[in-house]
Amino acid sequence: MTAPAAPGHPEERARTIAFVTYPGLTPLDVVGPLQVCSALADLVPEFTVVVVGEHKEPMSTDTPVSLVPSHTFDEVPRPDVLIVPGGLVPTLAAMADEHLLDRLRGAAADAEIVGSVCTGSLLLAAAGFLEGHRATSHWMFRDLLTRFGATPVAERWVEDGRFVTAAGVSAGIDMALHLVRRLAGEDTARLVQLVIEYDPEPPMGGIDWAAAGTEAYTPFADELLAQALEGDPGLLARLRG
């Protein structure tokens, strides 16, 4: 369910929020915050939401669902807000994809806000955006941010100037609600939260990070990184320190 449509036409909307797609991403990284921002666009005609990719063709994800961008990067060269989703091996491999990184550099050059979800922050970092900035990512790969000159922060979402990064997957919804609050005010953000009925109650309760034992997954994370960057041993060595 989305908010009731507000009057106005897309061509009258002056501020564009663009979500990036690339093969192998995690769909909830896009769809969660996309739903939040689409509700914003329904409520406030000043905003429009697009999904950009290299081509307007079905794009594979890390689930059986494919995504089709609404626009190409060339059609939306200067969005006001750019959000980059993450994923596992395909996203880690994309850190070495200079064509994609150049697309991000171009799209983010004049953006008011540049955001990411999960390991999407590693793509922002690889593109050179996060040096000297605080940022977060999925807990399994968050410390890799240091290799790009960023300061990793173990928080649900982190804002540092125009950069807003979210932790793993579902944290993108929290970040997007913060963006709505930043762009349109708290009343609008609360209405969006109500419209999408975002009131999570995990059946097992929240995560006990102190007892989670995340360090046990370090070998698995390193294995994924090695798989992803098999073709770029230089970058792999840099990230391994």
Average pLDDT over residues 92-113: 98
Nearest-angstrom CA–CA distance, 182 and 164: 11
Q: Tell me the residue type at 180.
A: V
Catalytic residue among 118, 127, 184, 228: 118
Answer whether residue 7 shows pLDDT above 70.
no
8: pLDDT confidence band, cut at 50, 70 and 90?
very low
Task: Give the pairing of strands 15-20 and 47-53.
Answer: parallel
pTM: 0.93
pLDDT-derived band at 14, boundaries 50, 70, 90: confident
Q: Which of 113, 132, 135, 112 is nearest to 123 (CA)?
A: 135
Nearest by Cα to 59 from 119, 100, 96, 115: 100
- Which contacts of 225-230 are long-range, i.e. CB under 8 A and separated by 24 or more positions? 225/92, 225/141, 225/144, 227/89, 228/88, 228/89, 228/90, 228/91, 228/92, 228/93, 228/95, 229/92, 229/93, 229/95, 229/96
Nearest to 113 by CA among 78, 138, 81: 81
Q: Is 37 annotated as catalytic?
A: no
pLDDT mean over 78-90:
98
**Is residue 31's pLDDT more than 60?**
yes
- What is the rounded average pLDDT for all residues in the chain? 94
CB 202 within 8 A of CB 152: no
Q: The domain 10-240: what is its CATH number?
A: 3.40.50.880
Confidence of residue 241 (pLDDT cuts 50, 70, 90): confident
Number of other residues whose CB lies within 10 A of the CB of residue 93: 22
Q: Which residues are 168's β-sheet partners?
A: none
Share of the chain above pLDDT 90, in %: 94
Q: In this predicted model, which residue has the larger pLDDT, 30 or 9?
A: 30
128-182 pLDDT per residue, tens? 999 999 999 999 999 999 999 999 999 999 999 999 999 999 999 999 999 999 9
Between CA 12 and CA 47 the distance in angstroms is 9
Res 13 pLDDT > 60: no
Query: Which amino acid makes up residue 10?
Result: P
DSSP 169: T
Q: What is the pLDDT of residue 121?
A: 98
Domain ranges of the chain: 10-240
pLDDT attached to residue 9: 39
